[in-house]
A and B are shown apart, each in its own frame.
Chain A
């Protein structure tokens, strides 16, 4: 037996082989369970049946749209909510990291608000926006905003003091301190925050669409449920997983690239 402890490093090949083995085991157990008839097919269709339904959803509309269109409408909301969260959260975090008074003003409020789970914003969003674009965007924002603020703030707080002092002795204004010192020094932390933020945002989105939308991947799930089609529900879940994984992979690539450029 080869011990694979936390300290062992894996070659890429072995890593890939083990990952594939995990996936295959998952699908294998699923297949055997479904095919054995132990669970009725309405509740657990075979992987093949789900795959067929997945393909069918990409070709013919379900509740108004094809799967791609549902995903596109979800992604639009996600991009808007996530973009807003990043555009407001990152500057706010940096400012809080520099101006102590702002930190004191914002932190208590922020700490209270961030414990309201995105899903808990749903009733509020529904009251304010109905099924319009505003509701889901608000809910995604509520999920994606805190990591943006927190990571930018931490990044700014943990900038090496000597760099801040160097900038001060070179006569940097507040603006230049934030834009040219705190921001670039915090980039690794900010990008890590964006990854967490995108993950939470994407998760919140689906939650939001379950309730306050008339299109999108979450809406597809709800309608699949009311049609008692486990295959549709599972297709939707797989699509959510794939898109989430892709977003994360892209941001991870960006993260690596930035860290490499800085010689780390």
Chain B
């Protein structure tokens, strides 16, 4: 079991001697092998939630636990895919993917085999010896995802992983992520501020309020997806055309818009 549990999590930031409450008593779960997307206005603390699950930040009060144990430090059991990819520029594709495996102390032959499988899965064949700066943004993100997937982590934490990609690449990557999660489902916490993306990918969508961040509502997408058989459709745009999809998306949109009474500007 590797669920993520946020229990009564509060986080206070200090800047210039003033306290800022960024997360206000948040409680929610990502169940074992469930895909949860966290959406909310900018600055609502979504990324902070993810970083706390990763062990890169810690709650001011409350607990974040993974698999029943409070998170104390980062580790390869909880792989993170960052928005800006964070590939090592001095390592080639193969070496980047190998980085985490080497921490596990796996023998070289086994590592090579796993990397080869991952490279194939992500369509990176022939690019093993390329350096990140020689690759397009989409390819770089594939490498970043491969670097996480290859560890076979219990938990996958993705912080707007497609945010820096152009619209077309983004759709391709979303479809691939869906395929991958069907082959090998994992516990995923996925941050985005694109509502479409959240509804398309997630089993449940947790909607946050603006700062101080609270969970406004958790929307069960999987129920609708199964009832309406979205899986029949191969392509993103077909799913997104479904009335049930549009309906869910609009519902979540409204919740988000209510968070911004003064400024109408809301990012997609």
Contact = CB atoms under 8 A, between A and B. Distances in A.
Q: In the complex, which range does the number of interface residues on chain B fall in?
A: 20 to 34
A109 to B, nearest CB: 31
A240 interface: no
Interface string B72-99: 0111101110101011111100000001
Query: For the complex, would chain A's binding face be called helix, strand, loop or mixed by DSSP majority?
Result: helix
Given A168-B56, A262-B90, A173 B103 contact: yes
Contacts of A160: 86
Contacts of B90: 184-185, 187, 262
Contacts of A57: none
Q: In the complex, which range does the number of interface residues on chain A fall in?
A: 20 to 34
A176 interface: yes
Interface of A: 160, 162-163, 165-173, 176, 180-181, 184-185, 187, 262-263
B86 A166 contact: yes
B137 interface: no
B46 interface: no
A152 B116 CA distance: 36
Query: For the complex, would chain B's binding face be called helix, strand, loop or mixed by DSSP majority?
Result: loop
Given A162-B86, A262-B90, A172 B56 contact: no
Contact of B86 (A165, A171, A172, A187): A165
B54 interface: yes
Contacts of B56: 165, 168-169
B133 interface: yes
B99 A169 contact: no
A162 B131 CA distance: 18
B212 interface: no
Given A171-B76, A187-B90, 20 more contacts: A160-B86, A162-B86, A165-B86, A166-B82, A166-B87, A168-B74, A170-B151, A171-B74, A171-B75, A172-B99, A173-B103, A176-B103, A180-B88, A180-B91, A180-B99, A181-B88, A184-B90, A185-B90, A263-B89, A263-B131
